[in-house]
Structure 1
């Protein structure tokens, strides 16, 4: 059993002893994770019956995030003694108004789909994430009731959830096809490729419109790498240099232009490698740390060095990217 998180319901009238008994029961019950053939990951936070206030007409039995084909959603399950006209959900993360379809036996399941990515940024943050969720419930007879749930998601459940989401679902400010660089560099560019290098890295590469995608003279790279916080970008240039040396590349040059805790700007070049398909390359790259991991911008020139004028323009453009 994988413990996905912690879920409790505030009840001012409960004694401290009763709360501890309930909490222990909840911890022992754990939580459910369900996978099926449709690639659905559902982390449900199950609420034991002992936590329900007796006067509540609505009993929330499960609430949690889920993914389906890499897209985030929420799932709310419960039972109601009366037809529900509306449930308003409010928290610092989630705000929504829904009308669940209550069946004859009083049960309901409601999926909150097509949600904004901002509601799930916490999935990529380190440590536990906790927040309170208030439910303002209006019944069809005009009466109302309110409940407040306290939710906490642990590191393991967040890592599992993040692993089910493709890179393009991560919180990034720019879509690859609308990069500021392409507009400001005064050229017409085309996409050479946009794809996943692996489960954690998404990359888009652009070449001048007039160049062949098989042997371009220049290349602009936009890369997203999912990584947990704490990555040390200052080690990247040395690792790249070691990789070039292992490929028997000639006249390797590596220079760090700027570096701080939020990112690094560096420049490297070589005069060709033992593999004739690896062309002489001169590249300027900038890597910056984001909530989801690392974003990389890079400009490469093949078969010749970048001129001084080009170099300054490239640096100005890459430094302005975010």
Structure 2
């Protein structure tokens, strides 16, 4: 059985269930007690769990640094970064502490630490509050990076991340919080290392993740209805590690690949996937790989300019047509 709930409700359920099951799990961040989190994703948790839900000063460096220490001491902190746009302030803690402690202590230290980082564009929020920065973390060994696309994956990936003994960055798109969708009853767990084929197809493989997946599915439907093109859609769910085997199998079947994400196209996750496919399944490709992403510019405040910079359903459809013509 399943229920229709919002992404916000789904992630709050994940937090509630994991905190009830494990007293070592706690959460802290800015405005999560008084405000319930900027999207309401922590509303009510303090009423049930008290001091295990804490408001902190505005210092992302202190947040992540304290989280690293707490995780090494045996706790399981979940840290809310308010917006992923502020994650640059914490890079030393992530790059040189969180990601490396397990290795540098010879496997004796475990860091069951989750960083929740709302990312992506949001209602014309301008350049400092609209960024998709996940590709920064692809080349940092020692961390996992997961990105849900729906209430179901939001709940399942967050629960799996909290239970994982390794540090996980959980990028959750700002526009997903009010989105509704089915969520299974019971203990919903989504693996942190497996992509999911959401739509079977035979002509083109379309790989996407996060909020961009909505545009990908809409473009795939339009391609079939208007042009008779059968598109297989894959939700990555995780970018570290990347489930390349699922992508390889699909590309061997379709012979074509389109990769779409909201992040800037240059240096994005799509480039890494394209390189891996070109290296390992080149002989099955019948057309060049096509990537879709944002233009290399800060995200404008102006709604008209923002629409020009960010990719949309039409951009994905054009990419599908390009690789099939």
TM-score range relative to shorter protein: under 0.3
The structure whose residues are more often strand, as a share, is 1
TM-score, with structure 1 as normaliser: 0.26
The structure whose residues are more often helix, as a share, is 2
Asked which structure has the greater CA Rg, the reply is 1
Q: Which of structures 1 and 2 has the larger relative contact order (alpha carbons within 8 angstroms, sep 6+)?
A: 2
